[in-house]
Structure 1
Amino acid sequence: MHAVLVRYGAVAEVARCEAVEPLVRRASVVLQTHRGLELGNVLEAARPRGAIGADPSEGARFEIIRVATDDDLAKHSESKRRAAQEFSIWQQRIAEWDLDLQLIELEWTLDESKLILYVLNERGPECTKLALQIAAAGLGAVEVQPVSLEGPVTMPTSGGCGSCGCHEE
């Protein structure tokens, strides 16, 4: 197996991925993430575990399924076009639901199993309200991804059970 760094998502994230064969920089690949199938671009080979500056506990996060085909690239372009058309509809829904969120981007996974809404906000009650409104309206599988100035906001990996702040130092 070959470990590579791959950039994926409309609000770009970088992940360490495992590939069966060596891949060149800038190769378009299809990877399986926690959100579904996504298109990504290879940045470089990842440092082997135990190399100077590498975190030995860091394993691959996602698996590369294949090098992207012309069909994958066409589907991705169509998904981007669809997302651009739906952007104003989602902005209107957020306004109608009276949520204090700013929609900055949306994208479909490559397999179109999930829509990801990127909102400018910390993970908190407004994001939860949006998720509940989406579920109540029966709008399908939608993930609300808060984004700060530093990038996507993630949940703490350990400690605490919510966003009260008592688990932070």
Structure 2
Amino acid sequence: MAEIIGVRFKTVGKVYYFAANGIQAQVGDAAIVETARGVECGEVALSNKEIPEEQITAPLKEVIRLATAEDLAVVAKNKKKEEDAFRICEEKIRFRKLDMKLVEVECTFDNSKLLFYFTAENRVDFRELVKDLASVFRTRIELRQIGVRDEAKLLGGLGICGREFCCKGYLGDFQPVSIKMAKEQGLSLNPTKISGTCGRLMCCLKHEQYAYEQLLKVTPKAGTMVQLPDGTQGVVEEVFLLTGKLRVRPEGAEVGTLVSKDEVQVLHATEGSREQRPPRKKPQPAQNSAPKEQKPQKEAKPRRDSRPPRQRSDRPHPPRQGRQDKQNKPPKAE
């Protein structure tokens, strides 16, 4: 078992684990820790807790100390530096005529690095901008391009529901959202109605998806044949998942009636569903069809092995012409 402390570096951000190193911290305290970006000051989100070592991603860095009054003064000074860096960077962007939008600036606790977050539709060549910023601040400069969802999380705002953005208020990480969730929840597929301020699908679709999945399992679908409490049969025309009501039109009636899903009995599966479709049969050849004319087969040629062996003649072969000329050739004159 290892004793850890959870620290986050933004108001609503991911919680990182650090070794307690014998320090007792409470939720809300400020702590100085060592990270991959350098020494930083964060807020304690999880007090001292023991967890199995298998759940720890090595190497686990340690908490240096709890923040003192001097450390908090350094943090306030860095905040002022971030505001100045934001203003200067915007001036440099306008001077270089770069197609990018600056979102936020972060300064590490030890003042070893300045991080500039920006958004852009295309790739931006900011090498000259980095040189300009490095000549002004005399420290390490890092520019990071982020997406529109990250921009909304950093800036914050109010959604169409009138509440604060979910990503800014309490969401630590973004959850994947698909258009299938909007279909299952019976929402309009108009992009302007199911998209958030960032232009992506609203995060609240993911929050309510589990409840809709459970309700869809126990609620008849539209088009299902059901039996009403009085014994008559009808077809489900409309489903209200959250209230558990069904609009059923009895046979021979022109207007449907509202009933509870617990008061009806499902007779068969939804029309056109997979359960109602007949099994696919494999095509079989017709039995009464006339047989096809068979082509006459060609006679097979005899194999080479089946041929009779050659008979050798007992007559002596005549000598070759070249050998005979050599024998009759006169000797060379000495």
TM-score (structure 2 length as normaliser): 0.38
Q: CA deviation at 1:28?
A: 0.2
Q: Distance in 1 between matches of 2:145 and 2:110?
A: 22
Q: CA deviation at 1:68?
A: 0.5
Report if aligned partners of 1:30, 1:38 keep a CA contact under 8 Å in 2.
Answer: yes
Q: CA deviation at 1:105?
A: 1.2
Q: Distance in 1 between matches of 2:88 and 2:11?
A: 18
Superposed, 1:97-116 pairs within 5 Å as: 97-116=96-115
Superposed, 1:83-122 pairs within 5 Å as: 83-120=82-119
Partner of 1:125: 123
Change in CA separation of 1:73 and 1:66 when aligned onto 2, cut-off 3 Å: same
CA RMSD of aligned residues (A): 2.9
1:73 aligns with 2:75: no
Greater relative contact order (Cα < 8 A, sep 6+): 1
Q: Distance in 1 between matches of 2:59 and 2:96?
A: 39
Equivalent residue in structure 2 for 1:33, among 14, 32, 35:
35
Q: Distance in 2 between matches of 1:78 and 1:114?
A: 14
Q: Distance in 2 between matches of 1:82 and 1:27?
A: 23
Residue correspondences, number? 144
TM-score (structure 1 length as normaliser): 0.70
Larger strand fraction of residues: 1
Report if aligned partners of 1:103, 1:118 keep a CA contact under 8 Å in 2.
Answer: yes
Q: Report sequence identity in percent.
A: 25
Q: Distance in 1 between matches of 2:59 and 2:4?
A: 7
Specify every segment of 5 or more residues in structure 1 that has no aligned partner in the other structure, as ranges: 153-169
Report if aligned partners of 2:92, 2:129 keep a CA contact under 8 Å in 1.
Answer: no
Cα-to-partner distance string for 1:5-35 (whole Å, 9 max, x where unaligned): 2111588443222221232111100111122
Partner of 1:7: 8
Q: CA deviation at 1:125?
A: 3.3
Paired residue type of 1:106: V
Specify every segment of 5 or more residues in structure 2 that has no aligned partner in the other structure, as ranges: 155-334
Q: Distance in 1 between matches of 2:146 and 2:56?
A: 26
Paired residue type of 1:109: T
Change in CA separation of 1:116 and 1:81 when aligned onto 2, cut-off 3 Å: same
Find the residue that maps to 1:87 and give its secondary structure: helix
1:48 aligns with 2:51: yes
Larger radius of gyration: 2
Partner of 1:157: none
